[in-house]
């Protein structure tokens, strides 16, 4: 299967823009000098509780990433509930698989439906398992779990982790309301809805389980300030790459020609979970407070883009996005044999694209460690996805630019 990258020739629409970070990073870096971590952490927990409709902010624990939150949670479940293995969809990020390994547990993969969920039969097959955990990522945006599937999940006796890194915000109806052994994990990473400079949180939905997680409360002095210079440098670098002379000066180019090569070069490192830093917490707080207003401004423009996509590539191209209430990322579905040509067309006009996710069961570094089952549907979906440069932080101007480039593809193909 072809996984060649098609780098953009100019940087009109980049996948993960970062210029918006100048001001907040500079502001947070300055206010960092003042300290008072306790107050910032408690404000951030309160804000998450309000947005996510969590009854009590003491059910929220903050880490330096969603991965850290998952590792800490899995390690605790392993110690308290004798958990031995974790079910992760084969179509999901390597951070999830690596977190399972870092927690010292066995990785099991499962296949997904075209809706990116486990099949009903698969969930039924887990009914009597006790010593496992099921992870359910909600990819590309927020939407409720369909009622029949939720009903089956409610019958599981194993703990369930709703990985909400990409589906923020997530009110209770999205994850079910039963008081089972449910956990949610959110991320403040760069490609996530909140798109900040990292950080993450674990939400324990059953308050009586909180005793298990007492050690996740940082002590006075545990919270580091956090280094602001690399974030500012990366924002400046990305900004410079917008100009041809800037790209020449900083050498904006891809290190790998395709996704397979990128994954083969990656190595696995066992990680220890870390607390959120004060800088991450300040940025997350700031971003959370402006998030809702920002999203509303964006929605209108995304609707127009979706219209153009439907006219250009047909309604099935939107199969992966239409069911979401809100997009975090915008994956279109295109036949595998046309994907590269579309990527090249967009790249030539400055729109950067990529693929998600190389199926875990195909990766040698996991196959060497675990017996992973074949997941044909995940492979098919992976072959059809093209991720467009739309993101929670895309400005209306950026969205309209992309819309124009795609509209021209339509005109270009109907002309010829
Ligand atoms: C679905 C999903 N879960 C978890 C993570 C890990 O998040 P973080 O980068 O905050 O560790 C990612 C990261 O890309 C993700 O896409």
Confidence label for 206 from pLDDT (cuts 50, 70 and 90): confident
Provide mean pLDDT across the span 81-92.
95
> Residue 35: pLDDT above 80?
no
Model pLDDT, residue 227: 82
Distances (CA, A) of 207 to 5, 78, 181, 182, 237: 46, 19, 10, 10, 44
Write down the domain spans for the chain: 19-216
The CA 65 to ligand 1 mean position distance, Å, reads 8
CATH fold, domain 19-216, is 3.40.640
Model pLDDT, residue 123: 97
Provide mean pLDDT across the span 350-365.
92
Which tokens go with 328?
């975090």
> Residue 45: pLDDT above 70?
yes
Model pLDDT, residue 346: 94
> Residue 127: pLDDT above 70?
yes
Confidence label for 107 from pLDDT (cuts 50, 70 and 90): very high
Task: Return the percentage of the chain with pLDDT > 70, whole number.
Answer: 89
Instruction: Give me the phi and psi of 71, to 5 degrees please.
Output: -60, -45
Model pLDDT, residue 368: 93
Model pLDDT, residue 18: 60
- Select from 141, 192, 199, 277 the residue to mutate for testing ligand 1; criterion: most ligand atoms less than 8 Å from CB: 192
SS (H, E, C) 351-369: ECCECCCCCHHHCHHHHCC
Q: What would the DSSP string read from start to end of 281-313?
A: HHHHHHHHHHHHHHHHHHHHHHHHHHHHHHHHH
The CA 267 to ligand 1 mean position distance, Å, reads 17
CB 44 within 8 A of CB 63: no
Q: Which range (85-94, 186-195, 215-224, 290-299) has the least confidence?
A: 290-299
Model pLDDT, residue 414: 61
- The verdict on whether omega for the bond into residue 169 sits within 30 degrees of 0, i.e. cis, is yes
- Select from 67, 164, 186, 191 the residue to mutate for testing ligand 1; criterion: most ligand atoms less than 8 Å from CB: 67
> Residue 124: pLDDT above 60?
yes
Confidence label for 171 from pLDDT (cuts 50, 70 and 90): low
> Residue 174: pLDDT above 70?
no
- Select from 96, 186, 284 the residue to mutate for testing ligand 1; criterion: most ligand atoms less than 8 Å from CB: 96
Residue 67 Cα: closest atom of ligand 1: 11
Q: Which residues line ligand 1 (CB under 6 A)?
A: 65-67, 92-93, 95-96, 137, 163, 165-166, 187, 189, 200
Residue 200 Cα: closest atom of ligand 1: 10
Confidence label for 359 from pLDDT (cuts 50, 70 and 90): very high
Of 340 and 393, more confident = 340
Of 411 and 346, more confident = 346
Distances (CA, A) of 66 to 70, 137, 184, 266: 6, 12, 10, 20
Atom 14 in ligand 1: residue holding the nearest Cα: 93
Instruction: Give me the phi and psi of 68, to 5 degrees please.
Output: -60, -45
Model pLDDT, residue 34: 65
Average pLDDT, the chain: 86
Q: Please, what's the largest Cα pairwise distance for the chain?
A: 67
Provide mean pLDDT across the span 55-68.
93
Of 257 and 12, more confident = 257
């Amino acid at each position: 299967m072809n996984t060649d990258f098609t780098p953009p020739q100019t940087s009109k629409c980049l996948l993960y823009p970062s210029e918006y970070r100048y001001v907040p990073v500079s502001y947070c870096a300055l206010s960092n000098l003042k300290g008072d971590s306790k107050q910032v952490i408690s404000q951030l927990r309160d804000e998450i509780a309000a947005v996510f409709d969590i009854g009590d902010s003491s059910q929220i624990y903050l880490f330096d990433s969603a991965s850290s939150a998952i590792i800490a949670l899995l390690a605790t479940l392993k110690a308290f509930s004798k958990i031995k293995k974790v079910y992760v969809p084969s179509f999901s990020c390597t951070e999830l698989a690596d977190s399972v390994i870092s927690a010292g547990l066995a990785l099991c993969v499962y296949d997904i439906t075209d809706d990116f969920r486990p099949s009903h039969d698969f969930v039924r097959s887990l009914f009597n398992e006790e010593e496992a955990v099921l992870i359910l990522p909600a990819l590309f945006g927020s939407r409720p779990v369909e009622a029949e599937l939720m009903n089956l999940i409610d019958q599981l006796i194993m703990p369930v982790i709703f990985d909400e890194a990409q589906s923020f915000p997530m009110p209770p109806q999205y994850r079910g309301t039963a008081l089972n052994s449910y956990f949610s994990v959110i991320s403040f990473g760069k490609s996530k809805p909140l798109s900040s400079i990292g950080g993450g949180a674990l939400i324990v939905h059953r308050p009586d389980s909180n005793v298990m997680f007492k050690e996740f409360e940082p002590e006075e002095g545990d919270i580091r300030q956090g280094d602001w210079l690399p974030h500012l440098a990366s924002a400046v670098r990305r900004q410079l790459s917008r100009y041809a002379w800037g790209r020449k000066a900083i050498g904006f180019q891809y290190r790998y020609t395709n996704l397979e090569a990128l994954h083969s070069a990656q190595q696995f490192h066992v990680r220890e979970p870390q607390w959120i830093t004060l800088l991450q917490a300040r940025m997350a707080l700031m971003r959370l407070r402006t998030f809702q207003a920002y999203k509303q401004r964006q929605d209108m423009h995304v609707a127009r883009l979706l219209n153009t996509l439907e006219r250009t590539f047909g309604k099935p191209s939107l199969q992966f996005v239409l069911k979401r209430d809100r997009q975090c990322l915008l994956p279109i579905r295109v036949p595998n044999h046309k994907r590269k040509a579309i990527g090249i067309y967009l790249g030539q006009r400055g729109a950067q694209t990529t693929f998600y996710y190389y199926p875990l069961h195909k990766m040698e570094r996991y196959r060497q460690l675990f017996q992973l089952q074949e997941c044909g549907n995940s492979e098919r979906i992976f072959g059809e996805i093209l991720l467009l440069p739309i993101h929670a932080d895309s400005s209306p101007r950026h969205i309209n630019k992309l819309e124009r480039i795609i509209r021209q593809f339509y005109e270009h193909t109907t002309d010829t």
